[in-house]
Amino acid sequence: KQEVTQIPAALSVPEGENLVLNCSFTDSAIYNLQWFRQDPGKGLTSLLLIQSSQREQTSGRLNASLDKSSGRSTLYIAASQPGDSATYLCAPAVIHYGGATNKLIFGTGTLLAVQP
Amino acid sequence: DGGITQSPKYLFRKEGQNVTLSCEQNLNHDAMYWYRQDPGQGLRLIYYSQIVNDFQKGDIAEGYSVSREKKESFPLTVTSAQKNPTAFYLCASSTSSMHTEAFFGQGTRLTVV
C-alpha cells in the first residue's frame, strides 16, 4: 500500500529565502507525481506535474524533482514571498489500484508560513 | 472559464438525514473523483468514475453513494449510514489517460448539527 510522508510538517521562513519541501513515498510504481497548494478552507491548486519518466519540472519560482527509484520528490521554492504561505501537498498517482488510471495518494502536507 | 464547480460551499446536516453534494466540470474530462479531507490527515478517496454510468469504490466508500449519469456531473450523497460525516469534501477530475494532471474544485464543508 502506498504511503506518503511529507517533511517538515510545518515551516516558517523569512521572506526571500529559498526553501525545500520533501516528499517520500513507499511504492515506486507510479504514473506521475503532482504537487498542490492549498489555502485555508479552499480547494487544491495544481502546481506541477512530473511524469514518472522525468527527473524534474519547473514553473516560475518552483522546481520539483523526482527520484522514483528512491521514492523521493522535492519542491524547491526560490525567493519565497508572503503570498506563498499555504499548505503544500504531494500526491503520487499509483498504477496498481483496481484499474484506476489516476488514483492520487496524498501526504498530510507541509504548512508553510513566509514572514514579511 | 473552464473548471470544476462544487456546491454548496457550506452544508449542514441533521442526524439521520441524507445530503447530496454537487460537482460539475466543463473540462470535458472522463474521470472524476471524490475525496474527503479531515484535519491532520491526507485526502482519502471515497469514489471514482472513469466513464459515464460506471464508478468504483475508493478507500472509504461506506456510508456514501454516487451516480454518473452525465459526463460533466458526479454528485456525492452522504447517507445517514455515514457515522462521522463532518469533513471537507473535494471533487476532482482528469482525462482518462494515465499520465494526466488532476484538477480540483473549491470544496464543500459539511457539518452535522
Contact B63, B78 (CB under 8 A): yes
Q: For chain B (length 113 residues), average pLDDT per consecutive 10?
A: 90 91 96 92 91 92 97 96 93 82 95 90
A106 vs B42, B50, B101: nearest CB: B42
Nearest to B56 by CA among B44, B68, B73: B68
Decide if A31 and B99 are in contact by the 8 Å CB cutoff. yes
Grid cell for residue A88: 503544500
pLDDT band with cut points at 50, 70 and 90 for residue A90:
very high
| A102–B42 C-beta distance less than 8 A | no
Cα distance between residue A40 and residue B59, in whole Å = 25
DSSP strands (E only) in B14-74? 19-25, 31-37, 44-51, 54-57, 64-66
The contacts of residue B64 (CB under 8 Å, 6+ apart) are: B34, B46, B47, B76, B77, B78, B79, B82
Q: Cα separation of A93 and B17, whole Å?
A: 34
Q: What is the mean pLDDT of residues A92-105?
A: 72
Whole-angstrom CA distances from A26 to A51, A111, B2, B36, B46 are 17, 22, 34, 22, 22
For A15-56, the three-class secondary structure string (H helix, E strand, C coil) is: CCCCEEEEEEECCCCEEEEEEEEECCCCCEEEEEEEECCCCE
pLDDT number for residue A40: 92
Query: Could you tell me where the DSSP H helices lie in chain B?
Result: none
Q: What is the pLDDT of residue A92?
A: 93
Q: Which of B48, B100, B105 sits opposite A43 (nearest CB)?
A: B105
Count CB neighbours of A70 within 10 A.
10
Per-range mean pLDDT, top range of A25-29, A42-46, B49-53:
A42-46
* A100 has a pLDDT exceeding 60: no
Say whether pLDDT at A81 is over 60: yes
Residue B41 touches partner A, C-beta closer than 8 Å: yes
Q: What are phi and psi of A108, to 5 degrees?
A: -90, -5
Asked whether the predicted pLDDT for residue A95 surpasses 90, the reply is no
Relative to beta strand A103-104, strand A86-94 is: antiparallel
